[in-house]
Structures are given as structure tokens and as C-alpha cells.
Amino acid sequence: MQAESTHEKLSAELIERHDVLRELINCAPFHYVDIPIHGNVGDLLIMHGTLAFFRKQGLKPKLIAPYFAYDAGWIAPEDVIVFHGGGNFGDLYPYFQELRERIVQSHPENRIIVLPQSLHFSTPEKMAQSAEVFRTHADVHLCVRDQVSFVMAQEFTDHVYLLPDMAHQLHPMRGHAMQAGAGSLHISRVDDESSDHKRMLHAVSDTITDWPQFVGAREAQINLFRRAIGAFFRRGLGRQANRILVPVWIAYSGRLIADAARLFAQHELIVTDRLHGHILACLMSRKNIVLDNSYGKNSRYVEAWTLNSELVMLQKSKSVSPTVPSGLAPVAI
């Protein structure tokens, strides 16, 4: 029998770390709020990993809703509010933070759980303003994905947990990982978190794309889901929309993830400044080189959870020599 690799052992340990969430939700009815309805495959991986965790734990959300079709008036006294994880805790994407703050203020008696997030605020003043809101609530449980976020989160609540991203619950994605890939794939950000890795991109990559380019024309179908759910909500039919249309969206988004996995399976090496480009490569046991985003989220995450994998190499910056695992050579940039 082949010995289990360091990567496989590490992946199993990351999955087990989420068990604390089962204890926090306990047997209470709960809402899973702020699910992504857009083409960012990383956010979709988080959602499907979260749903996989719920299934494994025998948990069934009372309600699943995106941020733009959620009414805080639906919250009953016994409900727990579970917010989607990711990298939008802060002021870079204000709509999501504003929703969390509103519910923290309007429902001081309900337990609130924020699934693993990376925290980022543009100024200390903005962070202090948000922390002041959260500190008014005694039962907020804030999960974070890295040590920097862990320190920042202490300002928001006394209940802080260092946990890996929920997408790890999807490991292993063996159906695609067993395919024999060739060459390299570069997943490179084009949004506000992008950073300059162009020379790395041209030096090592056979295929270059980002989630928006990968989704392509399917963005029109995704927008149909958003508009339909939003229209139902504005007409006072939000509960019906979330009950009927959200499961259809979850199934459709699962097809996007499967397509992304097929793309990854065609390559033996993934080079990415997308955190979930890295995580998807890990789910599929693909070698990957991780480049940082604009504010260090990626390196913070890798250093906290995945750097010990033999499949992972972290390239922090031009001035930092990368830590090279077995089977990968450093790339000059």
C-alpha cells in the first residue's frame, strides 16, 4: 500500500479543523447568508465547500440567500446567522460588510458566525469604526484564515477562530486530479486585488486566464439568476426565490466548478495570484506556485495552512526567495 503523502495528510487535517463550527451552530436553526451569485470561481468553491460541510455534519440551513435578497426581518429569535466566508471582510467590498454590520446592530440576541475570512481595511480609522459596531454584540464568532487577520479580529470580538478556507471540504477532487496534465496554467487577477506578475506569467505559462475570462459568455446566464432572484425579492417574494431559485443556482454553479477542474486537469503546474487558484490546485493535488495579491492575502494564507505541502511553492515578492517544495524549481522574475 502506498504511503499517504504529506499533502494528503495536510488536507485531511484542514478538513478536521472545521469541526468547531458544528459546535457553534449546534442544533439551532440557521441562515446561510451572502452566498455568491457571480462568476468568481473562488467564491463558488467556498460556497460548495460550506454546503459539503453542512451535509457531512447533518446540518440543513433553514434559509440560504445572497446579500441582495436577504431580509433581516426573516430572523427568528432562535436563529443563528452564518455568513459566507472569503475575502470581503473590510472596506474593499463595502456592500457585504454593511450587511453584516446592519444585522449585528439589529439582532443583538442572535448568535452570528462569520465563516473563515481574510480581513482588510484601507485605514485604521475605518477598521476602528467597523470594530465599534461589532463590539456592541456579545455573541459574534469571527473565523479568520490567517494570522494577520487573527490579530485584527481581536478588535471586533472576543470569539475569534483561526480556520482554513471552507473550500478545503471539497478535497479530494479525484475524478479530475487523476488525469495526466501537461504544461502550465496561469490564473491571474484583473480586479482591484491584482499585482504585477506579468514577467512571471510569460516566463512559465502555456495557458493564461482569469475567472472572468474562464466564465466568458456564461456571465449572461449568471446575471439572469441575479436579476430573477432580485426581482422576486423586490416584489416581496424573496423567501420563494431563495427556496426555488437558489437550489437551481447552486446546481448551475457546480457545473462551473467542474469546468474549472477540467481546465486545471489539463495542466501539471498551476501558477496563480488567485487564492482559490491555489486551493483548487490543492484540492486536485496539482503542483502550484502561489503569487501574492495586492495586499498580501495569498502569502498570509499559504504560510498559515499549506506551505508544508510538497506541491506548493510560495513566491512572495521580487525581493524574497521562494520556499521550494520537492519537485518544483524556483522561477526567476
Residue 197 clears pLDDT 90, i.e. is over it: no
pLDDT digits (tens, 9 = 90+) for 290-301: 998 777 889 999
Specify whether the CB–CB gap between 229 and 250 falls below 8 A: no
Q: Pick the more confident residue, 87 or 176.
A: 87
Give me 223's grid cell.
Answer: 446575471
Q: What is the DSSP letter of 169?
A: G
List the beta bridge partners of residue 184.
Answer: 269
Residue 204 clears pLDDT 60, i.e. is over it: no
pLDDT grade, residue 243 (50/70/90)?
Answer: very high
- φ, ψ of residue 287 to 5 degrees: the values are -60, 140
Q: Identify the pLDDT of residue 147.
A: 94
Q: Identify the pLDDT of residue 108.
A: 97
pLDDT digits (tens, 9 = 90+) for 42-63: 999 999 999 999 999 999 999 9
- Strand blocks (E) in 85-222: 86-90, 112-120, 140-144, 159-162, 184-187, 207-209
Q: Choose among 148, 163, 164: nearest CA to 283.
A: 164
Residue 147, amino acid: Q
Listing DSSP states for 228-281 in one string gives HHHHHHHTT-HHHHHHHHHHHHHHHHHHHHHHHHHHHHT-SEEEESSHHHHHHH
Q: Cis ω on the peptide bond leading into residue 247 (within 30° of 0)?
A: no
Residue 321 clears pLDDT 90, i.e. is over it: no
Q: Give Cβ neighbours of residue 42 (< 8 Å, ≥ 6 apart).
A: 86, 167, 211, 274, 275, 276, 277, 279
pLDDT digits (tens, 9 = 90+) for 22-36: 999 999 999 999 999
User: Beta strand pairing status for 140-144 and 30-33?
Assistant: unpaired
pLDDT digits (tens, 9 = 90+) for 100-118: 999 999 999 999 999 999 9
* pLDDT average, residue stretch 81-104: 94
Residue 320 clears pLDDT 70, i.e. is over it: no
Specify whether the CB–CB gap between 100 and 114 falls below 8 A: yes
Specify whether the CB–CB gap between 150 and 298 falls below 8 A: no
HSE-up of 185 (CA within 13 Å, CB side)? 26
> Helix, strand, coil % (nearest 5) of the chain?
45, 15, 35
* pLDDT average, residue stretch 258-287: 93
Specify whether the CB–CB gap between 13 and 197 falls below 8 A: no
Residue 192 clears pLDDT 70, i.e. is over it: no
CA distance 114 to 116: 7
Q: Give Cβ neighbours of residue 298 (< 8 Å, ≥ 6 apart).
A: 273, 275, 278, 290, 291, 292, 314
Specify whether the CB–CB gap between 34 and 99 falls below 8 A: yes
Q: Identify the pLDDT of residue 51.
A: 98
CA distance 16 to 35: 23
Residue 58, amino acid: G
Which pTM was predicted? 0.89
Q: What is the mean pLDDT of the chain?
A: 88
Class of domain 6-169: alpha beta
Residue 88 clears pLDDT 50, i.e. is over it: yes
